[in-house]
A and B are shown apart, each in its own frame.
Chain A
Amino acid sequence: MDISEKVIAIIAEQAVLDPSDVRPEHTLQDLGIDSLGLVESIFAIEEAFDISIPFNANDPTEGAFDISSVAAIIAAVQGLVQART
């Protein structure tokens, strides 16, 4: 499973959807993921990739980690995984 598939699987699980229903252009809001679900998704992604995501729930849009869409999250995770290696 590549990074993209793994991130989508995590988001799909949080949204209680089938991974095939999660599209890159979707926002987390589109998928019905609330602030608590977002924090859980971030945690699951950190655990899955052994990375640390800069994220403050007080202002989710402010940090360096782009959560504006599924595609943006995948790109940000790819960046963090690359930076790790």
Chain B
Amino acid sequence: MHVIGPEMGLTQPGMTIVCGDSHTATHGALGALAFGIGTSEVEHVLATQTLRQSKPKSLELRVEGELAPGVTAKDLVLFLIGKISTEGGTGSVIEYTGPCIRRLSMEQRMTVCNMSIEAGARAGMIAPDATTFDYLRGRDFAPQDFDAAVARWEQLASDSGCHYDRTEIFNGADVVPQVTWGTNPAQVVGVDAAVPDPASLTTAADRDSAARALDYMGLEGGQKLVDIPLDRVFIGSCTNSRIEDLREAARVVRGHRVASSVSAMVVPGSGRVKRQAEAEGLDQVFRDAGFDWREAGCSMCLGMNPDTLSVGERCASTSNRNFEGRQGKGGRTHLVSPSMAAAAAITGHFTDIRGWNFND
């Protein structure tokens, strides 16, 4: 849904969009107010076309500067969640602002907005601009009178100097490729760092939580990320399975082979993405390297079909949640970007993509 809506032009700026899935936040990348709801509220919307809401607070996450080569939107959003915590956005809608955000493509913006929920915010939004309008032009459900629609959509952006209940400012240049080490998305570090020692954390609650997480994940404080070997690699999910994500991963993989210790798969985000990837020959790049190339679906993001981890299996995943058992009971999930997942599949362990040998 979160791949198909935007790609068909169903998702448009200014819409209010709800769906029975928390990653509905993805659609905020097009300037819609989009959030997840439960089954009873879905029923309510179908019956009445409305939902009663209290006005949320506004949280501005402003990102100055730009992302360095090899650093992606996925790394940026993991970095932000690491900074503001899994409840930093609770009670709020996040608006992502700043030049670093403006530079992102639509698919990159979707990756960022998608994971707003992992920071506790029901919704995450990016004001529509020329990038948005160019993306929507010509799509299946884009308005017939497109220019009139653009004129309306241009009115939606937040006024300059407007009041946000809270603002946090970051610099894109500070972001390095990220890897989660624990059992929630905020338990994350740069790939060039080490798993934290629980004793070094400030509060007793954080120490307990980290100790529990490390026990589940089979890791120790001080262990370097690049020394951690992997069993599985999953490239897919509504966070990172669009054509740009597949191109990014294919570029890393081209001319290399998946490590013999790793079983890796790529699951495109929709039938349309799959067909486009095949038209570009990306499927062949993945197959030649030893990846499984699959039909579109949610797959191993949440393990509701047979694509699951076994107990103790460690996976580099481009999905959005590393909770205990998320990908399979006892499974150990590390969240990364598509290029980082691809590199890990080749080397068999986490690898800093910034030093990668591309066979372009």
A and B found bound together: no
B interface residues, Cβ below 8 angstroms from A: none
A interface residues, Cβ below 8 angstroms from B: none
